[in-house]
Chains A and B, each alone.
Chain A
Amino acid sequence: MAGTAVRGRLTWQTATVASVADETDTVRTITLDLLDWPGHQAGQHLDVRLTAEDGYAAERSYSIASAAGEPVAITVERLEDGEVSPYLTQELRPGDQMEIRGPIGNWFTWEPGDGGPLLLIAGGSGVVPLRAILRHRQRAGSTAPARLLYSSRSLEDVIYRHELDQYRGSADVRYTLTRRQPPGWGGFTGRVDDAMLTRIAWPASQRPLAFICGPTQFVEAVAGLLVARHYPENRVKTERFGGA
């Protein structure tokens, strides 16, 4: 019931799908109408519960894709053997209902007061919470210097590409394409490695704040490289996702 939730308690509420937008062949952004959303910070996530006609329910967690102050949106990548992501990316349409609770997680978050310089490193759909951070930074008029290094299989697989390219006026946005590059590609290729970080990572002496999100092995590797570059462990925030 709106307004009666005990502070700190996250209750389930019904959300109605306001719109869906395909980002790539396998990735879709879903914007939700919620009656009672307390607001969220860039980088937080939420829980989704889907209920079938026979009462079977499935729950998943997704990063929030929208900036603080914007309508709640999630961006979902389809996993072919998944139970929930194929539904969300193929079947769902405006007007459909699901249940939501959140926002969740107060660690992997960024507010303008946290400052920078920001080093954001994404693997695949790990870009979602980092996009929320960049989008929040832009909307809040933050002058914290920011760099994004985004590892993607190919240019076609880059999520939010049009939007991220527009941040280039105020942030350094780079892609590294691991599997396939378009003809004449002048950007990074291959996995994120130390040579790439030499070119894009702020020196540790500038007290950078790093956010890394992506598959487990990606995050393990990149976080290890940043620690080797003397980034303090408490300024390297990570979010990992497995195959589940």
Chain B
Amino acid sequence: MTSPVSRGFHRLSRPGDARAGQLPPGQHTTADFPVLSAGPTPHTPLQEWTFSIREGGATLRTWTWSEFMEMPAETVTVDIHCVTRWSKLGTVWRGVPVPALLDQVAHDPSYVMAFSDGGYTTNLPARDVTGGQAWVAYGYDGQPLPPEHGGPARLLVPHLYFWKSAKWIRGLDLLDHDQPGFWENYGYNNYGDPWREQRYAGD
């Protein structure tokens, strides 16, 4: 179907859009860092924070904050794409690669469910959190990650829509089957590939 022309609508060229051709469909760039979340921002003190890998109700491994800070970390520069249509290019993060965490438990899950303070969850195929694709990030732009952007630590999976990069992450549940997380239960796509514009259920 050809889209109808919206009479009198034109493109505005803007300096920030130099890379507009590299954006996923339906996205536009922003210089801001907008926030999307469903409820209040949690503020867990670092001395109470832990990161856990669990399976079937059993905790396989837990890190305290100071233990987590001793894990080898990477600094990465990535583009991020929010389902609400903003993209932010060239964002700089510091965090622990997810495979370095999973390597510490001898398990081979098919899926992982990230879980967060506040009850938020999001599901990902295990193949999407392998090397070079997923981090647990605690630094943004050279600073500690602010709470409204998911600090002290959030998942970072930039090749999927940004709701998959769970804020306020506290761990991963290893699963042998897929099941929907929070937004996936409320009408959003189960996988969320921005390049295939998988925004909503059924896309």
Q: A10-B200, A60-B85, A233-B119 in contact; A238/B6 too (CB < 8 A)?
A: no
B11 sits at the interface (CB 8 A): yes
Which residues of the other chain, A, contact B35 by a CB distance below 8 angstroms?
A: 216, 220, 240, 242
Q: B40 to A105, Cβ gap below 8 A?
A: no
Which residues of the other chain, B, contact A9 by a CB distance below 8 angstroms?
A: 201-203
Q: A99 to B32, Cβ gap below 8 A?
A: no
Which residues of the other chain, B, contact A53 by a CB distance below 8 angstroms?
A: 5, 10
Which residues of the other chain, B, contact A47 by a CB distance below 8 angstroms?
A: 199
Which residues of the other chain, B, contact A241 by a CB distance below 8 angstroms?
A: 34
A-contacting residues, B71-86, CB 8 Å: 84-86
Q: Which residue of B lies closest to A105 (CB)?
A: B187
Which residues of the other chain, A, contact B187 by a CB distance below 8 angstroms?
A: 104-106
A197 sits at the interface (CB 8 A): no
Q: B30 to A97, Cβ gap below 8 A?
A: no
Bound CA–CA A165/B84 (angstroms): 32
B-contacting residues, A185-244, CB 8 Å: 216, 220, 223-224, 226-227, 233-234, 236-238, 240-244
A6 sits at the interface (CB 8 A): yes
A8 sits at the interface (CB 8 A): yes
Residue in A6, A98, A227, A244 whose beta carbon sits within 8 Å of that of B6 in the complex: A98
Q: B40 to A240, Cβ gap below 8 A?
A: no
Which of B1, B4, B39, B202 has the most chain A CB within a 10 Å cutoff? Answer: B39
| Chain B 175-186 per-residue mask, 1 if CB under 8 angstroms from chain A, else 0 | 000000001011
Number of A-B contacts (CB under 8 A): 124
Which of B8, B185, B199, B203 has the most chain A CB within a 10 Å cutoff? Answer: B8
- For the complex of A and B, the 7 pairs showing the least CB-CB separation, nearest first, are A242-B34, A9-B202, A223-B40, A244-B30, A51-B3, A50-B6, A56-B11
Residues of A in contact with B (beta carbons under 8 Å apart): 6, 8-10, 12, 14, 47, 49-54, 56-61, 83, 87, 91-92, 96-99, 104-108, 216, 220, 223-224, 226-227, 233-234, 236-238, 240-244
Residues of B in contact with A (beta carbons under 8 Å apart): 1, 3-12, 14, 26, 28, 30, 32-42, 84-86, 118-119, 148, 183, 185-187, 199-203
23 A-B interface contacts by CB (under 8 A): A9-B201, A12-B1, A49-B26, A50-B9, A51-B3, A51-B5, A58-B9, A59-B26, A61-B84, A99-B3, A99-B4, A105-B186, A216-B148, A223-B39, A224-B41, A237-B38, A237-B39, A238-B38, A238-B40, A240-B34, A242-B35, A244-B28, A244-B32
